[in-house]
Amino acid sequence: MSKQADTTPDSWDTTQWHDVQPGDTLSRIAQKYYGDPSLYTEIFEANKDILKDPNRIQVGQRLRIP
């Protein structure tokens, strides 16, 4: 899990981020943060501005973890 970027304008920003790694899926990310892969929809909903399809995420994308 990476620390929040130092370039964030608001030093109190509490947005939680996940940098997509090789082999990641939204289900695996949901499993990692919530313990339940079925909660992937929560992550998809929080990242609809950059994700069009929950099955297509790209390495290097930065996803919000609500």
Partner 1 sequence: MTIRKSVPLVAGLFLLVAAACSSNKGPADQAIKSAQAAYDAAKGDGLKYAPEKAHSVEATLSAAKTSFDNGKYDAALSEANSVLPAVNDMTAAASAKKDELTRTWKELSNGVPKMVEAIQSRVNHIAKSKALPEGIDSTVFEGARSGLADLTRMWSDATAAYQSGNIPTAVATAVIVKDQAVRIMSSLGMQIPIAAAD
Give least dist CB 52 to partner 1, A: 23
Q: How many residues does the chain have?
A: 66
Q: How far apart are the first and last CA of the chain?
A: 14
Query: Whole-angstrom Cα distance, residue 11 to residue 27?
Result: 30
Q: Give the CA angle between residues 66, 39, 64 to the nearest 5°.
A: 25
Convert residues 6-45 into a mask of x (bound to partner 1 by CB under 8 A) and - (unbound): x-x--xxxxxxx-------------xxxxxx-xx--x---
Nearest to partner 1 of 1, 53 (CB atom): 1
- Residue ranges in contact with partner 1 by CB under 8 A: 1-4, 6, 8, 11-17, 31-36, 38-39, 42, 66
